[in-house]
Amino acid sequence: MAEPILEVSGLVKHYPLTRGIVFRKQVGAVRAVDGVDFRLGRGETLGIVGESGCGKSTVAKMLVNLERPTAGSIRYKGEDITRLSGKALKAVRRNIQMVFQDPYTSLNPRMTVGDIIGEPYDIHPEVAPKGDRRRRVRELLDVVGLNPEYINRYPHQFSGGQRQRIGIARGLALRPEVIVADEPVSALDVSVQAQVINLMDRLQSEFDLAYVFIAHDLSIVRHISNRVGVMYLGRIVETGTDTEIYEHPTHPYTQALLSAVPVPDPEAREHRERIILSGDVPSPTNIPSGCRFRTRCWKAQERCALEVPALAVPAWFEAAGGPAAHDSACHFAEEKHVVPAEGDGDGPG
């Protein structure tokens, strides 16, 4: 892997669960993020995938300091940013920017596009002197494929895809090194999703950006990710290169997620097995003992209720010469042939 720019270790976010209005009493905790580790290389994309409520946005918010972790560290170029405050924190935050999911609600409807994209300069005036801001904003509009003449328009005058371009331009304003994109295309029409992903791909090479790209669906992150982490109930249960995850998934949860991705090729469709998971995702206030996936897993045995499986290269996989960077948190991790999710390079959807 490229030199790490971000290293996350033992990241935890628990929200207290309280009862009573006058005498608030803590009766438990929502374990939204419950021990997440990953490394992000310079200029690389890590895709984070998982069902609703598994803690993806909470991870994203901690990365950009919108939430404080309950425990764990986030190292940016070796320095733990969870321990920084004041000027030092502000300087680091500039380098890690976020692009939000919903371009309809994340842009202030009363502000012009120029003011929205230029707003980060109010917080970091050192990046762009006042007299130079309009020029920079026009340049940013151009970079994301929008007409610089639109600088005085308002968000409602744009389509969903264009609004997300505005969100991306704003994310780029401070020339960050890392962009955390929390489901940047989920709110968009399928036909527009590919355009926005292609734009992000181009910007990545143009500005040497590293992405944490969050999505519900494995098919969306496939083309943009170098590595993928699959999350379940607050933890990463499997991680590896995109090829490893899509073609040789070893965790039952990843196998189930992949089997649900539509396959366009009829012949490939015939050869694959559809795995339907039983039951619902347990509540993050009441996470099962041992392996947190066991209540929905068809492989679960007694051991799974007793021992938490470590996120590591399965022993048999290592012995068989499998890549060391493919970790799976399952006592019974096993490679299974899953037909690749898509045909060749025709974008997501």
Ligand X SMILES: Nc1ncnc2c1ncn2[C@@H]1O[C@H](COP(=O)(O)OP(=O)(O)OP(=O)(O)O)[C@@H](O)[C@H]1O
Q: Which residues lie near ligand X (CB under 6 A)?
A: 15, 30, 32, 50, 52-58, 216, 284
Q: Which of ligand X, Mg ion, none sits in contact with 286, Cβ below 5 to 8 A by type?
A: none
Instruction: Report the residue number, 287 or 312, with the smaller CB distance to ligand X.
Output: 287
Position of minimal CB gap to Mg ion: 57
Q: Where are the beta strands (DSSP E) in the chain?
A: 4-19, 25-41, 45-49, 71-76, 79-80, 96-99, 178-182, 210-215, 227-232, 235-241, 327-328
Q: Cβ closer to Mg ion: 57 or 193?
A: 57
Q: How far apart are CA 62 and CA 299, in angstroms?
A: 33
Dihedral sign from CA coordinates of 89, 90, 95, 97: positive
Is 106 near Mg ion (CB under 5 A)? Answer: no
Nearest approach in angstroms of CB 180 to ligand X is: 12
CB 94 within 8 A of CB 127: yes
Closest CB to Mg ion among residues 53, 290 = 53
User: From residue 44, how far is each of 33, 197, 202, 211 by CA, in Å?
Assistant: 23, 15, 13, 6
Shorter beta-carbon distance to ligand X: residue 2 or 66:
66
Rank residues 169 and 231 by Cβ distance to ligand X and give the closer one.
231
Site string (12-51) toward Mg ion, x via CB under 5 A: ----------------------------------------
By the rule CB under 5 A, 57 interacts with Mg ion? yes
Q: What letter does residue 340 receive in the DSSP assignment?
A: -
Shortest distance, CB of residue 214 to Mg ion, whole angstroms?
7
What is the dihedral angle through the alpha carbons of 191, 184, 201, 165, rounded to the nearest 10 degrees?
A: 80
- Contact residues for Mg ion, defined by CB under 5 A: 56-57
